[in-house]
Structure 1
Amino acid sequence: MIKTYDLWINGEHTKPASGKYFDVLNPLDDSLYCKAAESNQTDINKAVDAAHACFSSYRKCLAKDREAMLTKAADLLERDREEFLEILIDEVGSPINKAQFEVTQTIGQLRAAAGSARRITGQTMPSDTPGRLSMSVRKPLGVVAAITPFNVPLLKAAKLVASPLATGNTVVLLTSEEAPAVSFRFAKLIEEAGFPAGSLNVVSGFGVDVGDFLTDHPLVKAVMFTGSSVVGKHISEICGRNMKPCVLELGGKSPYIVLADADLGLAVQNAIIGMFFYQGQACIASSRIIVEAAVYDQFVEMYSAAAKQLSMGDLHEMSTILGPIISPRQRNRVRTHIEDAVSKGATLITGGEWEGNRCQPTILTNVTEDMIVCRQETFGPVTSIYSVDNAEEALALANDTHYGLSGAIHTNDLNKALSLAHEVETGMIHINAPSVYDEPHVPFGGIGDSGFGREGVDVDIDALTQWKWITIQMPGYDQAH
């Protein structure tokens, strides 16, 4: 039976004001997976009002109680792991290994956020006035708008909801139109964990219709967004106009540097993970592989051989690496990038063909500036390999992009690796490891077109609270100075 999801507002299933529902398709075969409510401005107002009303009391919730509820949410997700795995497989085409990774990371995210509730601390400071106690405290902002993508919808829901709740804020979550079911299920988990009605509200629909209204809403005090650079820049303009803080985690064209002294077996293994995890639908995917000339031919041969072995089988099998591309629009983007590159002279080392809605792992060489794939994010299982003469050229090529999210460096010379790590212009860099990596407490994010600000339970405290300076003048002191 096909499920229908209403909006989740003020702790209740709420029908959309328009009465409209849209189809959510299983990307494996484009069959109908569920129907979800199509929200409009009336629904957004209702959700924001509920979050704002809840904030007046929730902001006073004790740290120990926020900690307990987030800990319980993690325990509930452990209990319901299999249900969430099935949603991720069927709704967004996650191979089981990716779905397992996402659920495990989400559990860690909830537990890390639980711990951060007790770390919202201020400070006392010396005063220039005798007898004056000077201190600073942190206060929650209010209603936070969280906007999540399709590729890791559960993990991003947890990232963009748990930290606001841990810091005393309330949330309106706008899901990706391609992945609403997992967010609605997550909202029920948050309710079962004990969070009050209105603390988390979930709306589904189309960002083009309601996204601006949500981010521009006067009662929304901060925006957390994960998605494309184009939309992120637009949100930044809205927030800047309203003097509203935002955290933007956007696209990437991540460099993967392999130097001549690298362990090529390890480099190939990590490049497979870094590029083809969730069929390349990751902002931190290794879409530009930069190899020192002395080992270029050998690397290309080893890497293409490994890519050809990747399974496109049953999504429930742990051996399956490549699942379907999420939507017809995204499939067309992937096809266009490949066809444009080949038509302009790129060499197709392997891949480029489709099996249903799945694209074979695709490796290109001889990619030039006039090709779309050279500069733009493909968001599919397509990578380009470049040859350079030395580490200096590798660095220059790695930095020749408007993006700056993640990256990787492979070499046995750790001194050289650390030097390059400081010089590669990305928010994150991994040495002798894949570019695809995350932990809940680290400052996750990028520079340039890859975003603004950082995610992570420690840095979230800064992003989601504001300082207030308080002084107390003790009686009996001469204030002259």
Structure 2
Amino acid sequence: MSKLSVTANPSEQVADDLTIAPITGWNAQYIDGEWIPAGDRETIAVEEPSSGAEIGRIPVGTADDVDTAYQAAARAQSDWETTTAHERAAVINDAREIIRGWEDELIYLFAAESGSVNAKARSELNSLDAIMEVSEGLASQVSGEYRTSPVENKETQVRQKPVGVVGVITPWNFPFHLSMRVVAPALAAGNAVVLKPDEQTPYLGGHVIARAFEEAGLPAGLLNVVTGDGAQTGDAVVTHETPRMISFTGSSEVGRKVGARAVEQFAYPELELGGNNVHIVTENADLDWAVDSGVFGSFTHQGQICISINRHIVHESVYDEYVERLSDRAAALPIGDPHEPDTVVGPIINEQQRDKIVEFIAQSQERGAVVETGGGHDELFVEPTVLSNVNQEMPVACNEHFGPVAPVIPYETESEALAIANDTRYGLSGSVHSTDLSQAKRIATELETGMVHINDQPVNDDPNTPFGGVGASGLGRYNGEAILDRLTETKWISIQNEPRDYPY
């Protein structure tokens, strides 16, 4: 390829004697409070993206494993539901403190398992800590209220109760946070959980969370972690008759199937799916501000975030300057071994994802896009890439590229910018820059997305603010009271205090 050449020293096997490791070692599942070794089950290698080295293995959970986990969850949940809000919040708080004490080992595991650089790893730890803190408070919000009835002498109560058992399938890009954002509020609300993390990041996405709650004294059966692939283990999690809610974070293509299968079992599907997020830079933008936002929103975690900037839509009057400045900044980003503290851009998660990114860039070049910087790759390291002369029909723009790629599309009028922005089946997040706030708010209102950030970039996730999209970006909302609504059911209880005057 090009000038890029990256050396990443392979990590040793993720040591089974680490504080965060299960007592059995990593090659196990956590079911009904016990670590179950792989035994004669098929296993999957867990590989370090930066070096390709195998750092461990996990079992491929069978349908019987999933059934055992759900049975354990159902048994444990009935007692957990009767505990006080204080008891549930205390367990979450204890797990939170335990995780805080594991920071150094977790930073290492983030780099080894998911290719996360130091800054991203610490950001994910902070977001996880925040979601756990908010979840502690949610425990006391599972309550009820009285309503006025139009029927004379009738007392009406609307009570919340936990849905029961929740099935959770999470991705590899932010495995720790995206698992915990369901596990912690689900437990706070009085539910039990069966969690299947992505097979590429099972330790952060599952094992470490189970270890933390195990040490915190969570009763057996309330959190179960089954590992494996999507075709076998994931399908068993989704199609089981026990869960009343299925939470899935991943691609829109798989999410459509997960949602359909959940509904077949009368389980509510909570889906956070793909995105094709825009960063609109108007003629009134502060370019320093807009470029800073554009760099962070495009290249954080190598662009492997559902809410990353997928398209930069820039007014023609500032287009050339924006492209030049964005390119200069992208070219200066340190790329390399995620274990090194100063690295900003680490590896792509796997070869398939890398090949897709590289192909999108090449196909767009064939159609007239100009690579201003980057465009090359070495092993799983893809250079931060800025492309100019891009239009909406090019592969880097019309697809979710999920890589360190910044296609920049020019526009002339506000209506044209909105037409480009909304020309996608996705509707997750977006951002708009303008010193004219009335203009920014007008554009934000017209963007067909679940979230928009003015004078910022789309990579925002506040633990007490509804998070989710529209269209092919999913169903439902995560965080705070929004996820609590999905994790609980309402029950109407009425009391007729005096005889009613019926018509017959």
Of 80, 86, 98 in structure 2, the residue corresponding to residue 64 of structure 1 is 86
- Name the counterpart of 1:480: 501
Report whether the alignment pairs 1:400 with 2:423: yes
**8 Å contact kept, 2:310–2:397:** no
Question: Partners of 1:279 and 1:261 in 2: how far apart?
Answer: 29
**Secondary structure of the structure 2 residue equivalent to 1:460:** helix
**8 Å contact kept, 1:417–1:431:** yes
**8 Å contact kept, 1:16–1:43:** no
Of 298, 302, 310 in structure 1, the residue corresponding to residue 321 of structure 2 is 298
Of 406, 417, 434 in structure 2, the residue corresponding to residue 383 of structure 1 is 406
Match of 1:164, as an amino acid? A
Of 107, 115, 123 in structure 1, the residue corresponding to residue 137 of structure 2 is 115
**Secondary structure of the structure 2 residue equivalent to 1:287:** strand
**8 Å contact kept, 2:323–2:388:** no
Question: Partners of 2:257 and 2:389 in 1: how far apart?
Answer: 34
**8 Å contact kept, 1:48–1:172:** yes
Of 472, 476, 485 in structure 2, the residue corresponding to residue 449 of structure 1 is 472
**Secondary structure of the structure 2 residue equivalent to 1:294:** coil
Question: Partners of 1:387 and 1:230 in 2: how far apart?
Answer: 30
Of 440, 445, 468 in structure 2, the residue corresponding to residue 417 of structure 1 is 440
- Name the counterpart of 2:102: 80
Question: Partners of 2:39 and 2:427 in 1: how far apart?
Answer: 41
Of 34, 38, 57 in structure 2, the residue corresponding to residue 12 of structure 1 is 34
Question: Partners of 2:216 and 2:136 in 1: how far apart?
Answer: 12
Of 322, 335, 341 in structure 1, the residue corresponding to residue 364 of structure 2 is 341
**Secondary structure of the structure 1 residue equivalent to 2:312:** strand
Alignment of 1:24-103 (within 5 A): 24-103=46-125
- Structure 1 range deviating more: 434-443 or 315-324: 315-324
Q: Structure 1 residue 32: deviation in Å?
A: 0.7
Match of 2:167, as an amino acid? A
**8 Å contact kept, 2:387–2:407:** yes
Inter-CA distance 49–478: structure 2 relative to 1 (3 Å threshold): closer
Question: Partners of 2:369 and 2:309 in 1: how far apart?
Answer: 18
**8 Å contact kept, 1:17–1:40:** no
Report whether the alignment pairs 1:152 with 2:177: no
Q: Structure 1 residue 434: deviation in Å?
A: 1.6
Normalising by structure 2, what TM-score?
0.92
Question: Partners of 2:491 and 2:160 in 1: how far apart?
Answer: 6
Question: Partners of 1:54 and 1:26 in 2: how far apart?
Answer: 36
**8 Å contact kept, 1:17–1:42:** no
Q: Structure 1 residue 318: deviation in Å?
A: 4.3
- Name the counterpart of 1:467: 490
Question: Partners of 1:401 and 1:89 in 2: how far apart?
Answer: 33
Deviations 1:411-454, CA, capped at 9 Å, x for gaps? 10011111111111111111111211111111011111111111
Deviations 1:246-266, CA, capped at 9 Å, x for gaps? 110111110000011111011
Deviations 1:15-48, CA, capped at 9 Å, x for gaps? 3475222100000011011111111111111111
- Structure 1 range deviating more: 230-239 or 372-381: 372-381
Question: Partners of 2:393 and 2:129 in 1: how far apart?
Answer: 44
Inter-CA distance 400–102: structure 2 relative to 1 (3 Å threshold): same
Match of 1:198, as an amino acid? G
Report whether the alignment pairs 1:358 with 2:381: yes
Match of 1:92, as an amino acid? S
Match of 2:487, as an amino acid? L
Q: Structure 1 residue 239: deviation in Å?
A: 2.1
- Name the counterpart of 2:208: 185
Question: Partners of 1:222 and 1:17 in 2: how far apart?
Answer: 30
**8 Å contact kept, 1:27–1:324:** yes
- Structure 1 range deviating more: 198-207 or 125-134: 125-134
Q: Which runs of 5+ in 2 are unaligned?
A: 1-12, 17-25
Of 187, 191, 206 in structure 1, the residue corresponding to residue 229 of structure 2 is 206
Q: Which runs of 5+ in 1 are unaligned?
A: none
Q: Structure 1 residue 325: deviation in Å?
A: 0.4
- Structure 1 range deviating more: 85-94 or 131-140: 131-140
- Name the counterpart of 1:243: 266
- Name the counterpart of 2:459: 436
- Name the counterpart of 1:323: 346
Question: Partners of 1:351 and 1:245 in 2: how far apart?
Answer: 43
Question: Partners of 2:216 and 2:35 in 1: how far apart?
Answer: 17
**8 Å contact kept, 1:66–1:114:** yes
- Name the counterpart of 1:171: 193
Match of 1:325, as an amino acid? I
Q: Structure 1 residue 370: deviation in Å?
A: 4.9
Question: Partners of 1:402 and 1:28 in 2: how far apart?
Answer: 33
- Name the counterpart of 2:5: none
Q: Tell me the matched-pair count.
A: 479
* Runs of at least 4 residues off by over 6 Å: none
CA RMSD between the two structures: 1.5
**Secondary structure of the structure 1 residue equivalent to 2:146:** strand
Deviations 1:32-86, CA, capped at 9 Å, x for gaps? 1111111111111111111111112111121111111111222112111112111
Of 210, 221, 234 in structure 1, the residue corresponding to residue 244 of structure 2 is 221
Q: Structure 1 residue 400: deviation in Å?
A: 0.9
Match of 1:296, as an amino acid? Y
- Name the counterpart of 2:7: none
Match of 1:169, as an amino acid? N
Of 161, 169, 172 in structure 2, the residue corresponding to residue 139 of structure 1 is 161
- Name the counterpart of 1:273: 296
Inter-CA distance 265–317: structure 2 relative to 1 (3 Å threshold): farther
**8 Å contact kept, 2:389–2:409:** yes
Question: Partners of 1:387 and 1:368 in 2: how far apart?
Answer: 8
